[in-house]
Structure 1
Amino acid sequence: MALEEEREEHHVLPLMEPLKKEKEEHHVLMVAFSAQGHINPMLRLAKRLLSKGLHVTLATTEIARQRMLSSSATTTTAMADNSIAGISLAFFSDGLSLDYDRKTNLDHYMDTLAKFGHINLSTIIHNHTQSHGRKFSCIINNPFVPWVADVAAEHEIPCAMLWIQPCTLYSIYYRFYNNLNQFPTLTNPDMSIELPGLPLLHTQDLPSFVLPSNPLSTFPKLFTELFQNMKKLKWVLANSFYELEKDVIESMSELCPIKPIGPLVPSTLLGEDEETDAGIEMWKSEDSCIEWLNQQEPKSVIYVSFGSIVVLSAKQMESIAIGLMNTKRPFLWVVKASDYQVKDGDGQFPLGFNEETKDRGLIVSWSPQIKVLSHPSVACFLSHCGWNSMLETITAGVPVIAYPQWTDQPTNAKFISDVLRIGVRLRPNQDEGVTDEEVTKCIEKIMVGPSSEEFKKNMAELKMAAREAVASGGSTDRNIQWFVDEIIGSQGTLIS
């Protein structure tokens, strides 16, 4: 591993040409971690702010630019002038060469990103001030780049955070990292907790980062810094909507308020014009799966995907494969190359699987998920319960089979199965593994079981509530207008 030469450390790609002076009164800078699930919510919030008359620049690392340009889903033309859908783009070095594997040592990478990101983001802010004759009116970061708030303070620019997980997780983390409630410990690892606005949470319902068994140091360190220094932020926004999480949102109103301004999902899922959307893809999808879906019966297909990060073990792969095989139902399964490279096995499918399912199953390396969830043939979604995927399936109206793995996913699964009642959760046996019998049982329960109609009804209601929230005068629209008014008239103090 080698740092780039000194000339690279301060390198930033130029911003777009200065806008006309009369249009430059209020310009917002967003800073996103270089992951698709972090960048897309930012871009979609940017579009909402543009519609309210603000100008927006999104800054992220150069590695993100490389990934965008390598994807067929992001056109070279859109990136040629450093903009997407009217949103200016700026890219900065994270201090590492583009071919460095950032997953090798995550702790080191996050430290390096903070060090060089701090320097290079300051350069972007300085260049903007020099070329436009005024500062950015506001800077918006997300939880994975908390150092941005320090940069904002140094330049005397108010800072907001876009929380990209559910408000439920915001409440849990805030209380945990500020020692406001008791949580499981090494001496009492199986305790249950009860928090305002939330149901009783057992160990298996809590985010992995608050558990004593958590093996990672990077994210607890990051969240500790964030939640013990909320005074650096003037506003906290959330990728959610009030009607989805009203109890927990209200529970935080006096403690540390959070304003839901989502769901920040593709505009087509909200019944809006596709041209109003802004989003990028960092992986090439196999669009041929849509042709395959066109040949299936309505509400018949089980869609299976675990996102871009989760890597399943050989045992998990086997249980899902046999469970799908035994249902005798059509399925579309996204299996990444990394799913074949697990440590405890070769990840191959069980004997007879391919032959048994060749006429009713399709396996792809990556799918156009929005098109899949919107397709009339899809009946349910077997998911890891990442929050972006959950918002997409809610706005598409597709019930969920939850198979959480880590971070916020166990809590999301609890929320889906026990609070919203829009799906079921796979339950591990005593060996901590999910059996193929459990997979088959949950598929049947959500497809034709006694609760299947309730799941569909609840999901339809939430789908409508999401559309009403983002419509003119809806709860989300009002919150975004409030935020814009705050930026324009910002003279207040930071969150205490």
Structure 2
Amino acid sequence: MGKSKSSNFHIFMFPWFAFGHMTPFLHLANKLAEKGFRITYAMPRKAVHQLQPLNLHPDLISLHPVTVPHVTGLPPGAETASDIPIFLTHFLSIAMDLTRDDVEALIPSIKPKLIIYDNAHWIPEIAKPLGIKTICYNVVCAASIAIILVPARNIPKDRPVTEEDLAEPPPGYPSSTVLLRGPEVQSLLFVTNPFGEGITFHERITMSMQKCDALSIRTCHEIEGKLCDYIGSQYGKQVLLTGPGLPEENKNPLEERWENWLAQFEPGSVIYCCFGSQFILEKRQFQELLLGFELTGLPFFVALKPPLGAATIEEAFPKGFVERTKERGLVLDEWVQQPQILAHPSVGCIVSHCGFGSMWESFLSHCQIVLIPQLGDQILNTRLLADELKIAVEVKRAENGWIAKQNLSEAIKSVMDQDSEFGKMLKENHNKWRDTICPELMTDYMDKFVQSIHELVEC
């Protein structure tokens, strides 16, 4: 689908105010701009500055700043999920809903033919009277939608939801592998938490998916096809797949300071670790993880937020840690260029929380994958990679959920040791799947997505 047909097609985007959502929306915007679509992308003012470098088509993609009102319960100046601990997310949802008037005033002025959104369940209420079609674009795995957010999962409103309610997959769920185990079911209970004024997370997301004209998921039929078909049957809607939607090449080079640091080490020898922009570890667990990296004897590059109770990352370091690892260890609290780091020849392993963005970036890299999931959808992503596709290893936890330094070190060594049969098996499977999800296939997904957009709007 070339630019000639799409050049007058204007799309409005409005994702949830978290970088794990805003970044893949921008990746999708870049792909659509390549096809000639014009996009107005509304996001918090602070995010405009941070995401502008990822805007590959500023002539077609306009990042529109939205003023996020202050809500009692939020720290001053908080605009995105990265600005707050996860237990304050409810208040950020309230703030996002308070932008509705501004969004409602903006949409008629830009006259889009299509709106792509996720958590703002009220978008279809604005769009439908104006004759504008809507797509609810989900940037989480299909398994998390299929297990948690399908209508067949009848969450009762007249009593608190229990673990027993969530312990079994919903009727008709097609996978026997991508499931939660035992105590992990507790991680699903977040769906009953308030997520805005007078609305739970489950209600918000299911309403967003019920009201739209079409559903879309950032995944591939080759990996989650049965789950996507199940979701479509549950909602009675077309499910459009975009594939990972990641840039096919990194336009911006890795910062020189990190390039120089990584270049000191042998090819494939460095461990890279990042747990995303939101999750904050307890201090003792943070220290235990650092000691686990030290225990491997390998060089490591770790990007984490300061743990709870620590103003800086340095003050939380274990005693003597810097002196013992200064020649081979780097631990910092700042945003880093993860795709470029994973593409560096010296990096051979990623240790991550398995958020869906990190999952895809590690999936498409040549690195071995070690996973420490924290929340429900991350656990399901881990089940997909470690149990179903067998391209990753999950670090064993103690019964209380603790990650011991020995377990972390052993998991890393099991995939990094060149003589490890287990590591060789993972690498072979990883290579097979990465070759399957090739650039040509991704182009095909985007061509089909563009065709579906035209059909949706023209029907």
TM-score, normalization by structure 2 = 0.84
Cα separation, 2, equivalents of 1:200 and 1:258: 20
The answer to whether structure 1 residue 481 and structure 2 residue 450 are counterparts is: yes
Query: Contact between 2:351 and 2:370, CA under 8 Å: does it hold in 1?
Result: yes
Residues 367-392 of structure 1, C-alpha deviations (whole Å, 9 max, x = no match): 22111100111111110111101111
| Residue among 221, 228, 233 paired with 1:242 | 221
Partner of 2:28: 45
Query: Contact between 1:198 and 1:247, CA under 8 Å: does it hold in 2?
Result: no
| Residue among 361, 380, 389 paired with 1:392 | 361
Cα separation, 2, equivalents of 1:315 and 1:330: 22
Cα separation, 2, equivalents of 1:186 and 1:163: 26
Return 5+ residue gaps in structure 1 as ranges. 1-21, 129-134, 278-284, 492-496
The answer to whether structure 1 residue 353 and structure 2 residue 332 are counterparts is: no
Query: Contact between 2:116 and 2:136, CA under 8 Å: does it hold in 1?
Result: yes
Aligned AA (2:322): N
Query: Contact between 2:348 and 2:366, CA under 8 Å: does it hold in 1?
Result: no
Matched residue count? 434
User: How far 1:394 sits from its partner (Å)?
Assistant: 0.9
Secondary structure of the residue aligned to 1:84 is coil
Partner of 2:174: 196
Residues 409-456 of structure 1, C-alpha deviations (whole Å, 9 max, x = no match): 111111111011111111211232111111111011111232111111
Partner of 1:6: none
Provide closer, same or farther for how the CA distance between residues 215 and 357 of structure 1 changes in structure 2, counting only shifts above 3 A: farther
The answer to whether structure 1 residue 260 and structure 2 residue 241 are counterparts is: yes
Residues 261-292 of structure 1, C-alpha deviations (whole Å, 9 max, x = no match): 021223217xxxx49x9xxxxxxx96512211
Query: Contact between 1:208 and 1:406, CA under 8 Å: does it hold in 2?
Result: no
Residues 231-269 of structure 1, C-alpha deviations (whole Å, 9 max, x = no match): 411111111222222232233343334222021223217
User: How far 1:64 sits from its partner (Å)?
Assistant: 2.3
Secondary structure of the residue aligned to 2:316 is coil
Partner of 1:132: none
Cα separation, 1, equivalents of 2:183 and 2:31: 33
Percent identity over the alignment is 22
Residues 289-319 of structure 1, C-alpha deviations (whole Å, 9 max, x = no match): 2211112111111111111111111121122
Partner of 2:65: 91
Partner of 1:404: 373
Aligned AA (1:298): P
Query: Contact between 2:40 and 2:64, CA under 8 Å: does it hold in 1?
Result: yes
Partner of 2:294: 325
Provide closer, same or farther for how the CA distance between residues 176 and 373 of structure 1 changes in structure 2, counting only shifts above 3 A: farther
Partner of 1:168: 143
Provide closer, same or farther for how the CA distance between residues 215 and 327 of structure 1 changes in structure 2, counting only shifts above 3 A: farther
Aligned AA (2:390): R
Query: Contact between 1:190 and 1:202, CA under 8 Å: does it hold in 2?
Result: no
Secondary structure of the residue aligned to 1:249 is helix
Residues 437-481 of structure 1, C-alpha deviations (whole Å, 9 max, x = no match): 111110111112321111111222222222245454x3x134313
The answer to whether structure 1 residue 139 and structure 2 residue 115 are counterparts is: yes
Cα separation, 2, equivalents of 1:251 and 1:68: 34
Aligned AA (2:325): T
> Counterparts of 1:11-90 in structure 2 under 5 Å?
25-65=8-48, 67-68=50-51, 84=58, 86-90=60-64
> Counterparts of 1:77-476 in structure 2 under 5 Å?
84=58, 86-96=60-70, 99-102=76-79, 103=84, 105-115=88-98, 117-128=99-110, 135-142=111-118, 144-175=119-150, 178-179=153-154, 186=162, 188=164, 191-193=167-169, 195-199=173-177, 201-203=179-181, 210-211=188-189, 216-218=193-195, 221-228=200-207, 230-256=209-235, 257-268=238-249, 274=251, 287-336=256-305, 338-339=306-307, 341-342=309-310, 348-366=316-334, 367-448=336-417, 449-468=420-439, 470-472=441-443, 474=444, 476=445
Cα separation, 2, equivalents of 1:365 and 1:286: 16
Provide closer, same or farther for how the CA distance between residues 187 and 210 of structure 1 changes in structure 2, counting only shifts above 3 A: closer
Cα separation, 2, equivalents of 1:447 and 1:205: 30
Q: CA RMSD in A?
A: 3.4
Query: Contact between 1:298 and 1:376, CA under 8 Å: does it hold in 2?
Result: yes
Return 5+ residue gaps in structure 2 as ranges. none
Cα separation, 1, equivalents of 2:62 and 2:233: 36
Secondary structure of the residue aligned to 1:175 is coil
Query: Contact between 2:265 and 2:346, CA under 8 Å: does it hold in 1?
Result: yes
Cα separation, 1, equivalents of 2:185 and 2:262: 34
Cα separation, 2, equivalents of 1:23 and 1:251: 31
Secondary structure of the residue aligned to 2:234 is coil
Cα separation, 1, equivalents of 2:164 and 2:185: 16
User: How far 1:42 sits from its partner (Å)?
Assistant: 1.5
Provide closer, same or farther for how the CA distance between residues 479 and 200 of structure 1 changes in structure 2, counting only shifts above 3 A: same
Query: Contact between 1:27 and 1:54, CA under 8 Å: does it hold in 2?
Result: yes
Provide closer, same or farther for how the CA distance between residues 401 and 471 of structure 1 changes in structure 2, counting only shifts above 3 A: closer
Cα separation, 2, equivalents of 1:32 and 1:192: 30
User: How far 1:53 sits from its partner (Å)?
Assistant: 3.4
